[in-house]
Amino acid sequence: MAKRTRAGRAGLSRAQVLDGALDFIDREGVAALSMRRLGAELGVEAMTLYHYLPNKDALLDGLVERVMARAVPDGIASGPWEIALAQFAAALRATLLRHPGVVPLVATRPAVTPETLRVVEQGLKLLCDAGFALGRALDTLNTLTLFVIGHVASEVSTTPLNEAGATGSQTHIAELDDTEFPLLSAAARTSAGTDDTTRFEFGIAALLRGIAAAPA
């Protein structure tokens, strides 16, 4: 009988390791993540994790992959490209807001794992089948994804300011001199234009309309 590996005896899977890393980052942040600390989180030695992920870079790339898998577990939907991409954008935002600690990774690490690249390939096929040139299709996917990541990064960074009523918060703006800043202070007092979801949906809709209307 073949001997079981240390990883096999631990009863883990690669997905479980990545999910454990996501949970850890949500609490402690990316800077605190190490193979040793992740091993302690999962109740195994750090060396066990190398069976699933050969190094720290593979772990970080896997986290980007896992976020994409959670956002679109069945891949980007088929159908009209505008609807499919709007759904993808909303799902990616919702997933990133549930895991704010991983936003810096998604913003800075390119898609490199086969699973993440399949999502990109699927999006390109959707757009090329709709008549997009390949370069325009890739520009569209990249522009959309960067908008989502940037919007979420702003939401994550401004939430603590608003909760504390700090400088730059909605509360702070509402208290500005309304003779000098009548429109800004009125917007803050009435919450006009301050809802993150409404702003996000407006931005995605405007972006997709602009792409559809742009010359090929």
Rounded Cα gap, residues 192 and 55, in angstroms = 47
Q: Does residue 7 surpass a pLDDT of 80?
A: no
Q: Does residue 100 surpass a pLDDT of 90?
A: yes
Residue 2: per-residue pLDDT = 39
Are residues 118 and 89 located together in one domain of the fold?
A: yes
Mean pLDDT of 11-17: 91
Residue 189: per-residue pLDDT = 95
Q: Are the C-beta atoms of 95 and 101 separated by less than 8 Å?
A: no
Render pLDDT for 127-165 as a digit per residue (tens, 0 to 9).
999 999 999 999 999 999 999 999 999 999 998 888 888
Mean pLDDT of 37-45: 95
Residue 3: per-residue pLDDT = 39
- pTM of the predicted model over 0.85: yes
Are residues 118 and 202 located together in one domain of the fold?
A: yes
Are residues 180 and 148 located together in one domain of the fold?
A: yes
* Domain tally, the chain: 2
Q: Does residue 9 surpass a pLDDT of 60?
A: no
Are residues 181 and 141 located together in one domain of the fold?
A: yes
Any domain includes 21: yes
Residue 163: per-residue pLDDT = 86
DSSP string for residues in 8-49: HHHT--HHHHHHHHHHHHHHH-GGG--HHHHHHHHTS-HHHH
Mean pLDDT of 6-31: 85
Are residues 19 and 79 located together in one domain of the fold?
A: no
CATH number at residue 168: 1.10.357.10
Using the structure block, give the residue that is written with the tokens 């003779």.
Answer: 179
Any domain includes 16: yes
Residue 4 is encoded by which pair of tokens? 């079981």
Position 10 confidence tier, pLDDT thresholds 50, 70, 90 = low
Are residues 15 and 110 located together in one domain of the fold?
A: no
CATH number at residue 4: 1.10.10.60
State which residues form the domain around 6: 1-54
Any domain includes 65: no
Rounded Cα gap, residues 189 and 187, in angstroms = 6
Are residues 117 and 172 located together in one domain of the fold?
A: yes
Are residues 115 and 169 located together in one domain of the fold?
A: yes
Any domain includes 36: yes
Mean pLDDT of 44-67: 94
Report long-range pairs for 105-112 (Cβ below 8 Å, ≥24 apart): 105/30, 105/60, 105/63, 105/64, 106/64, 106/67, 106/149, 107/149, 107/150, 107/153, 109/60, 109/61, 109/64, 111/64, 111/68, 112/61
Residue 216: per-residue pLDDT = 67
Are residues 48 and 80 located together in one domain of the fold?
A: no
Any domain includes 30: yes
Are residues 104 and 207 located together in one domain of the fold?
A: yes
Are residues 34 and 118 located together in one domain of the fold?
A: no
Are residues 119 and 29 located together in one domain of the fold?
A: no
